[in-house]
Amino acid sequence: MVRKKPARVLAERGARGNNRRVPARDLGPRVFIPPPLVFIAGWIVAWVLDRRLEFAIDGAGPTIPQVVIGGALSTAGFGLMAWGIITFRRRRTPVVPVQPARLVVEDGPYRFTRNPMYFGLTVAYVGIAALANQAWPLVILPVVLFVVSAAIIEREERHLRQRFGAAYEDYCSRVRRWI
């Protein structure tokens, strides 16, 4: 029976299976947490807190303006996220942050923010909280954004700096991380 090598070992081997190490820039950002899962985890924590101590945005229930604003934010957030994904796919660079970037994408929503997918998830998260009339997700949101920034964005940016150097630094000087 042939034992499979762990993925990490395979990633470190050269194209012909020799023991040459692949440079860190070719391994990708090494993000092991799917970004949407961080936002979902925030909602789960908020749900648990809400079961212990209900915390609604409006005790009388969602108002019409709240529903309109929540719907608009959710739609805009998911739309921005989709635009970012479509832009990556058109440029043939990986969307999932475990794979190495093929290039620095500077068009589409990446002209305005370096992280339109995460920004879109954040806007949608706020919109869903408004629609659901839930305040706990908003209280938890800073923690969610800290985790996204520290565990995901920092690793991605380190990878992009290693891989693209001055080209990525130039892009960072022109475009903000969020907005």
* pLDDT range class, residue 21, cuts 50, 70, 90: low
- In this structure, which amino acid lies at residue 38? V
Q: At a CB cut-off of 8 Å and minimum separation 6, what does 47 contact? A: 136
Higher pLDDT, 156 or 7: 156
- What are the structure tokens assigned to 171, written together? 């892009």
Whole-angstrom distance, CA of residue 91 vs CA of residue 153: 20
Neighbours of 79 (CB within 10 A): 14
Taking only Cα atoms into account, the Rg of the chain, rounded to an integer number of angstroms, comes to 20
pLDDT digits (tens, 9 = 90+) for 58-93: 999 999 999 999 999 999 999 999 999 999 999 999
- What are the structure tokens assigned to 72, written together? 């608009």
**Terminal CA-to-CA distance of the chain, rounded, Å?**
53
- pLDDT value at position 7? 39
